[in-house]
Chain A
């Protein structure tokens, strides 16, 4: 009986493997399909306890718009699973307050912005420089501008 109860509890808590391999968009497609591309700075970051995993809400201020239109007063806010200390693998993790990122954004059905292709849509910028990191390691802001100029 006890074993059966424990098994039921474990089954309810079941989670699947977390090392997902995402479908990578080619760089030109990433630039083309993103409605907005911006350079932004992390303004605030708040961690909320979640059911199983904590969530982090990050607000950003837009520094420069490379593509599309975004209102200056429009709040740019994302809630992502996990925290910087305990990230959920393969999910976007925003750097700390004051750090800069390059964001590829699309509007979701609710009219709010979401990262294009998850982790691929968030390129951290090296502290103190404009060097793009993460899936943007082989690219640069200049390359994005070149790609945009092709249109």
Chain B
């Protein structure tokens, strides 16, 4: 590595001499410009290098930039692929990378166990897209207040389509913003601070024709159709559900504890609060936290352990 660096410096000097005709000030100018260019390109180069390193199976233990990697050895599920954790880096180092598969996970091959693992949920929740590509910041006074008070950017969603989902454009109404503000007021600061952005979309579809109510990640996207009068979910439940995925992304250890307690070895020990909560540990937690918000007594009666876990570890 040192030899390459030394060779690069020599090459740089030689090139500068040829390009400038041995004019010292021009040489310094050219070197400065090249150095500046390299410096600017460094993050992108680093991502590419990391990606290639991961593809070729490098150990991730040296990578300190990735929260999803930090505790990968704590999982106990079966049939974990040896190299899946390295692939998790591809998503989280570069959130725009193409991998939506929730790699780095703890998938199990046994019927009767969750197909979606703990690490996949964490990685999935960490996926982020540039806000400008999915929406335009809402300029209303209410949105500005939400941003100032809670640090959450409110986006009017643009129409977009990727390989798996699509959405149509939508703007927040004054009523929706008021409702959203009221929800934020009731949330504990630590929980709320995990979320940075919300985009309103009119209609979200997956490519099988199903209608997701919302999409987790950053920003969180919610379907106005789902939360409208005559829709199929309340805004509060949807907002708190999706924000819980952000809590999972930012506090992976809390989520790992949840999974170990209620989904030991990837196998569901007890029914969740809803059918959808029975799909995997991540949705289980999100559904239970939404219930904790809207109807805590119901959750307490259904499962005191889940209730206590949320009270002590999530709701703060």
Asked whether, in the complex, the Cβ of A23 is within 8 Å of the Cβ of B129, the reply is no
| Interface bits B199-215 vs A (CB < 8 Å: 1, else 0) | 00000101011111111
CB atoms of A3 and B101 under 8 A apart: no
User: Complex: how many Å from CA A22 to CA B210?
Assistant: 7
- Decide yes or no: A17 and B101 within 8 Å by CB, A124-B112, A137-B268 being known contacts: no
In the complex the two chains form, what is the Cα distance from A51 to B100 in whole Å?
A: 12
**Contact bitstring A82-123, B, C-beta under 8 A = 1, else 0:** 101111111101011001110000001000001101111000
Q: Which of B144-161 contact A (CB under 8 A)?
A: 160
Q: Are B100 and A87 in contact (CB under 8 A)?
A: no
Please tell me which stretch of A32-40, A66-74, A125-133, A142-150 contacts chain B, meaning at least 4 of its Cβ atoms lie within 8 angstroms of it: A125-133
Compute how far the CA of A11 lies from the CA of B132 in the bound complex, rounded to whole angstroms. Answer: 11
**Interchain CB contact under 8 A, A18 and B100:** yes
- Asked if A85 meets B107 with Cβ closer than 8 Å, knowing A20-B206, A21-B216, the reply is yes
Contact B278 A100 (CB under 8 A): no
Option from A119, A127, A131 in Cβ contact (under 8 Å) with B279? A119
Size category, B interface = 35 or more
Indicate whether B28 reaches chain A with its CB closer than 8 angstroms.
no
Task: Say how far A27's CB is from chain B's closest CB, in angstroms.
Answer: 7
* A131: chain B residues within 8 A (beta carbon): 112
Please name all residues of chain A whose beta carbon is closer than 8 Å to the beta carbon of B206 when the two chains form the complex. 20, 91, 118
Contact between chains at B41 and A17 (CB < 8 Å)? no
**Cβ-neighbour of A53 out of B99, B217, B272, B283 (below 8 A):** B99
Q: Decide: B99 and A133 in contact? CB cutoff 8 A.
A: no
Kindly identify which residue among A24, A88, A126 contacts B111, using a CB–CB cutoff of 8 Å.
A126
B97 touches A13 (CB 8 A): yes
Please give me the residue from chain B that is nearest to A25 by CB atom: B275
Q: Does the CB pair B278–A127 fall under 8 Å?
A: no
B116, A16: Cβ atoms closer than 8 Å: no
Residue of A nearest to B96 (CB): A10
B134 at the interface (CB under 8 A from A): yes
Majority-rule SS of A interface residues: loop
User: Which of A19, A82, A134, A137 is most buried by chain B, counting CB atoms within 10 A of its CB?
Assistant: A19
Partner of B215 from the list A20, A84, A117, A126 (CB cut-off 8 Å) is: A20
Q: How far is it, in angstroms, between the C-alpha of A95 and the C-alpha of B214 when the chains are bound? A: 27
Chain A residues lying within 8 Å of B268, measured Cβ to Cβ, are 133, 137
Contact of B129 with A14 in the complex, beta carbons under 8 Å: yes
* Contact for A52 among B98, B121, B215, CB less than 8 A: B98
Q: Bound complex: CA of A85 vs CA of B109, how far in Å?
A: 8
Q: How far is the CB of B155 from chain A (nearest CB, A)?
A: 13
CB of B306 within 8 Å of the partner chain = no
Say whether, besides A87-B101, A89-B116, A15 and B164 are in contact (CB < 8 Å): yes
B103: interface (CB < 8 Å): yes
Q: Report if A88-B276 is in contact (Cβ < 8 Å); known contacts: A2-B41, A16-B215.
A: no
| Chain A CB within 8 A of B118 CB | no
Query: Which residue of the partner chain B has the closest CB to A99?
Result: B111
Complex partner residue of A24 from B105, B115, B167, B276, CB under 8 angstroms: B276
Q: How far is the CB of A57 from chain B (nearest CB, A)?
A: 15
CB of B230 within 8 Å of the partner chain:
no
B-side contacts of A137, CB under 8 Å? 268, 271-272, 275, 278
Contact (Cβ within 8 A) A19 B210? no
Q: Are A17 and B218 in contact (CB under 8 A)?
A: yes
Beyond contacts A2-B44, A15-B164, A125-B111: 9 other A-B pairs, Cβ-Cβ < 8 A, are A11-B96, A13-B96, A16-B221, A17-B216, A19-B216, A20-B165, A27-B275, A86-B87, A87-B101
**A–B Cβ pairs within 8 angstroms, 24 of them:** A10-B96, A16-B221, A17-B128, A18-B101, A18-B164, A19-B125, A19-B217, A21-B215, A21-B276, A23-B213, A52-B99, A53-B100, A53-B101, A84-B107, A85-B84, A85-B107, A88-B164, A90-B116, A93-B115, A118-B206, A126-B111, A131-B112, A137-B278, A138-B275
* Chain B contacts to A: CB under 8 angstroms: 37, 40-41, 44, 81, 84, 87, 94, 96-103, 105, 107, 109-112, 115-116, 120-121, 124-125, 127-130, 133-134, 160, 162-165, 167, 204, 206, 208-218, 220-221, 226, 232-233, 238, 241-242, 245, 268, 271-272, 274-276, 278-279, 282-283, 286
